[in-house]
């Protein structure tokens, strides 16, 4: 069992920005040629979590993972087609059932965790329903939502913000409480062949942040408008409009694989002191943690290269600026054998559930 890495297409900073107030107040500059040239802040591993394994709790692929209030939620879109809940110690709490009955799922496609209410929402692409569960996955109800989406969030007043990759007229749409009325549309879509998907494109903490295909901006949604609050500048490696027009979707991806360009952002997550995001460069996933304290980006991969972390994929920031990441059993086993650092006692089964590792960058936490 391996963590499924869905490679998605490059984002660029050239699309028309209708309904966007361009108030970029910070540019995050990243020089890919100079990575590894500065000392790293200290990193402290808080825990390495072994997810319980039984007949019900074996996860197929980790397509989405959320951590909140002492619980870990994993959505497996491809194999088991289920949502799992574990405790922060790894104990199995529950799992959704496959089927068409109340609370059952056929084709779960995205997960939204409302951290204010401790409610969990799942959109089923086949049933066209948004299912609502308690924090322990007790079924609480459902609503029809017959619109294709990649990511979604339930906002105040029961409005639903969606991001879609299905060549729509706009990348984002805000639906009213009836799930049919479009109250606002954001970022005109670029027409392209095939499917473009990015990892978590909506992050909600004290504010709503979004990212979009073909851009390097990070936007804030406030009072019905999008405000550009960050722009990630990779200099000569940023894709241009000409790159896309001349090479198309697949050719542009080849440019990133060859190290001539860099993809834009995936899996955006905001904590109290950090903003985390991922890009793809030379066929490698690069996880960055941008520090609000010193306004610098740090590459988590460098900690892996220095054997301070096992190979992992950062999936978000939980409470108290705690980063959480997914580690495959084989990678953890190799890390322990090669470094002598024991994070998990006993034999590691390569076919077991993935491990969840949590860590902190304490000296960069805002006081």
CA distance readout (Å), 208 to 99, 145, 173, 224? 33, 21, 14, 11
Residue 226 or residue 23, greater confidence: 226
Contact assessment for residue 158 and residue 114, using Cβ atoms and an 8 Å cutoff: no
Per-residue pLDDT reduced to its tens digit, 270-298: 999 999 999 999 999 999 999 999 999 99
The band of 17, judged by pLDDT with boundaries at 50, 70 and 90, is: very low
Q: Inform me whether the pLDDT recorded for 188 exceeds 90.
A: no
CATH of domain 20-364: 2.120.10.30
pLDDT at res. 23: 53
What is the Cα–Cα distance from 361 to 42, expressed in whole angstroms? 6
Residue 366, pLDDT score: 81
Residue that is written with structure tokens 């979004």 in the block: 210
Per-residue model confidence (pLDDT) at position 22:
56
Q: In which band, very low, low, confident or very high, does the pLDDT at 16 lie, cut at 50, 70 and 90? A: very low
Q: How far apart are CA 338 and CA 229, in angstroms?
A: 42
Which token pair is 361? 């960058």
Compare 78 and 24 and report the one with higher pLDDT.
78
The per-residue pLDDT of the chain, averaged, comes to 89
Cβ-proximal residues to 34 (8 Å cutoff; 6+ apart), any chain: none
Q: Among all chains, which residue has been given the structure tokens 């790159």?
A: 243
Confidence of residue 224 (pLDDT cuts 50, 70, 90): confident
Rounded-to-integer distance, Cα 49 and Cα 44, Å: 15
Is residue 41 helix, strand or coil? coil
Contact 281, 273 (CB under 8 A): no
Res 311: pLDDT: 97
* Residue whose token pair is 């059932």: 97
Question: Looking at residue 192, what is its pLDDT?
Answer: 58
End-to-end CA distance of the chain: 41
pLDDT of residue 59 exceeding 70: yes
Q: Pick from 20-24, 25-29, 213-217, 308-312 the range whose average pLDDT is largest.
A: 308-312
What are the residue ranges spanned by the domains of the chain?
Answer: 20-364
pLDDT at 36: 82
**Residue 146 pLDDT level (bands cut at 50, 70, 90):** very high
Band the pLDDT of 217: cuts 50, 70, 90: very high
pLDDT at 3: 34
pLDDT band at 244 (very low <50, low <70, confident <90, very high): confident
């Amino acid at each position: 069992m391996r963590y499924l890495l869905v490679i998605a297409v490059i984002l660029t900073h050239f699309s028309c920005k209708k309904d966007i107030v361009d108030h970029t107040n910070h540019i995050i500059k990243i020089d890919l040629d100079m990575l590894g040239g500065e000392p790293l802040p200290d990193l402290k591993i808080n825990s390495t979590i072994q997810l319980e394994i039984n007949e019900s709790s074996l996860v197929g692929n980790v397509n989405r993972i959320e951590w909140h209030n002492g619980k870990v939620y994993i959505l497996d879109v491809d194999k088991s087609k289920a949502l799992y809940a574990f405790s922060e110690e790894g104990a199995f709490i529950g799992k959704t059932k496959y089927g068409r009955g109340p609370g059952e799922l056929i084709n779960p496609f995205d997960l939204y965790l409302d951290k204010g209410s401790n409610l969990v929402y799942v959109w089923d692409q086949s049933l066209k329903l948004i299912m609502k569960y308690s924090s322990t996955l007790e079924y609480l109800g459902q609503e029809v939502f017959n619109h294709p989406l990649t990511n979604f969030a339930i906002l105040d007043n029961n409005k639903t913000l969606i991001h879609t990759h299905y060549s729509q007229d706009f990348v984002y749409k805000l639906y009213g409480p009836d799930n049919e009325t479009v109250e606002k549309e954001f970022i005109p879509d670029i027409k392209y062949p095939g499917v473009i998907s990015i990892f978590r494109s909506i992050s909600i903490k004290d504010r709503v942040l979004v990212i979009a295909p073909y851009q390097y901006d990070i936007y804030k949604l406030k009072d019905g408008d999008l405000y550009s609050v960050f722009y990630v500048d990779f200099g000569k490696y940023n894709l241009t409009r000409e790159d896309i027009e001349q090479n198309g979707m697949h050719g542009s991806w080849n440019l990133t694989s060859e190290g001539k360009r860099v993809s834009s952002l995936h899996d955006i997550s905001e904590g109290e002191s950090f903003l985390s995001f991922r890009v793809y460069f030379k066929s490698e996933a690069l996880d960055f943690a941008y520090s609000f304290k010193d306004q610098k980006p740090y590459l988590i991969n460098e900690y892996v290269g220095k054997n301070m972390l096992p190979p992992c994929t950062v999936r978000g920031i939980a409470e108290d600026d705690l980063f959480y990441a997914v580690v495959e059993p084989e990678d953890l086993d190799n890390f322990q054998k090669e470094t002598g650092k024991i994070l998990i006692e006993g034999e590691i089964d390569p076919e077991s559930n993935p491990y969840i590792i949590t860590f902190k960058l304490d000296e960069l936490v805002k006081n």
